[in-house]
Structure 1
Amino acid sequence: MNSIEVIKANGEKVPFQVEKLIRSLKRSGADSKIVEQIIQDIENTLYDGISTKKIYQLAFKMLKSRARVSASKYKLKKALMELGPSGYPFEKFVGKVFDHEGFDTKVGVIVQGNCVQHEVDVIAQKDNKHYMIECKYHSDQGRFCNVKIPLYIHSRFLDVEKQWQKQQGHETKFHHGGVYTNTRFTSDAIQYGACAGLMMTSWDYPKGNGLKERIDRLGLHPLTSLTTLTKAEKSELLDEGIVLCKEINENPSLLEQIGIPKQRQKNILKDSEELCTTH
């Protein structure tokens, strides 16, 4: 099995590592017996040059038929990519993460800088903290944020910060700029962000506190995770500004408003409630 090479999203060929697949399936909360069965089935299907995308599709299909909510958790990376195509739902999603952490947030606002005006994705305030967050959404997981992104965002933040510092009551405030992406950062982007003092958050960065861990920990799964909703239904809810399973769970009438039959509503609500459960 070690001789099998797989092709990653960025086109790189690497040896197949069954341990990675086991870890991602276990993280979904699937029963160990189910994980064992899926691994066995996948290993019997593998061939040299298979894409990691194909392996994911096979594993997801198998998981979905055995444990629906685990399948929803397993598809988290893909669910974040479905917060598009405009990327605005991803901005809303990041705003909701800050909301949940007790911040007063505004999404998609025009902010006056010292030199020029800036359109800012998320402004978040709590106590003496005042954050300017830019969101970089990619529909392709092979696309990373390179160093140009934090360089550009840091220069915009410095212009905004200069203006904020002139405002009354801001002398004691802690101003911070940040970048959130649904994919990953290149190593030089991380290096620059750390040096410049930017908050850098991606799918798996910072280690142990990236989007995947925070979403699981806070129970903030995007509604695109739900396998019980159709693509059209997800789009309709996203168009209404709804981005979280939690929002559906707290307001079940949203499902009725878009014409989902009561019988299906029950399954959708059951899954969304389980996804909102924090551990």
Structure 2
Amino acid sequence: MKSTTQINIVKYNNDVVPFDVNKLMNSLRRTNAAENIIQDIAHKIEDQIEEGMTTKKIYQLAFKMLKGKSSVSASKYKLKKALMELGPSGFPFERFVGKILAHEGYETEVGVIEQGNCVQHEIDVIAQKDNQHHMIECKYHSSQGRFCNVKTPLYIHSRFLDVEISWKKLNGHENKIHKGGLYTNTRFTTDALQYGNCAGLLMTSWDYPNNNGLKDRVDRLGLHPLTALTNLTKAEKTKLLDKGIVLCRELHATPSLLTEIGIHQKRHKNILKDSEELCKSED
């Protein structure tokens, strides 16, 4: 095994950092792969690591090795990439956020037109539970390294304030707690988080809040996007997204969808088996 003490790698945002095999192993452990598989992959990547190698290349190497061992673990490992495949319009990501909130007990509507005090607004997700009434906007990115900057929470907060004036005039809303929120599939800049939290927005990204970001909630609730499945082609995933299907859970609940998009019966068993495994929650 070659020494990786002095080897630097390049992150998606072009930052140069030392390669840390422990970080690689921790990311692999999130897939629930067997420890011997994790150790084996980590050692093989250590042998192949080179100065200036990108984290993208390292991910590709690890994913290929993991897929050869366990398709379900590979699906879990590609969660971040799978969220970026909920495009290109971003509407599937809005549906995905709606599904997460629905499984957390909210009544949700996706793509709603609401009249504000000044103008109409198209709201990505409206979520209601008990006395909570939330206006959620979704910022979708198709590639890593693109952070959600302060302009987005500034814009969303101003829209929320306009909608909130109208909401407060509705019957039965005297005791409602109205909040605006921002969900993104990547990360927030420091300024974006500072403003969003100061303004009282519900801020959610790939890894924020700590232990309750998208990656944590997906694992906890068993709500993996169907784009995580490694035994579906890109074209097949697109057909399902076009039908409004975004979760492995939905696919497993309605197997006939596979036939509807032209997938041969011989492939159904493996696809549905992986879907079932990814539906398991950690609660």
- Alignment TM-score, normalising by the size of structure 1: 0.99
**Counterpart position of 1:56:** 59
Match runs of 1:1-279 below 5 Å: 1-279=4-282
1:82-119 Cα shifts (integer Å, max 9, x gaps): 00111110001001111111211111111100111111
What amino acid is aligned across from residue 264 of structure 2 in structure 1? P
What is the CA–CA distance in structure 2 between the aligned matches of 1:112 and 1:127, rounded to whole Å?
22
What is the CA–CA distance in structure 2 between the aligned matches of 1:263 and 1:176, rounded to whole Å?
48
Which aligned runs of 4 or more in structure 1 are off by greater than 3 angstroms?
none
What is the CA–CA distance in structure 2 between the aligned matches of 1:278 and 1:125, rounded to whole Å?
23
Shift of 1:19: 1.1
What is the CA–CA distance in structure 2 between the aligned matches of 1:212 and 1:20, rounded to whole Å?
16
What is the CA–CA distance in structure 1 between the aligned matches of 2:147 and 2:104, rounded to whole Å?
27
What is the CA–CA distance in structure 2 between the aligned matches of 1:210 and 1:130, rounded to whole Å?
20
Shift of 1:261: 1.2
Residue identity over aligned pairs, in percent, reads 69
What amino acid is aligned across from residue 114 of structure 1 in structure 2? N
What amino acid is aligned across from residue 188 of structure 1 in structure 2? D
**DSSP 3-state at the match of 2:88:** coil
What is the CA–CA distance in structure 1 between the aligned matches of 2:54 and 2:203, rounded to whole Å?
29
> Which runs of 5 or more residues in structure 2 are unaligned?
none
Shift of 1:12: 1.0
What is the CA–CA distance in structure 1 between the aligned matches of 2:247 and 2:89, rounded to whole Å?
17
The count of corresponding residues between Structure 1 and Structure 2 is 279
What is the CA–CA distance in structure 1 between the aligned matches of 2:259 and 2:199, rounded to whole Å?
48
What amino acid is aligned across from residue 127 of structure 2 in structure 1? A
**DSSP 3-state at the match of 2:14:** coil
- Alignment TM-score, normalising by the size of structure 2: 0.97
Shift of 1:177: 0.5
What is the CA–CA distance in structure 1 between the aligned matches of 2:22 and 2:155, rounded to whole Å?
38
Across the aligned residues of Structure 1 and Structure 2, the Cα RMSD in angstroms comes to: 0.7
What amino acid is aligned across from residue 93 of structure 1 in structure 2? F
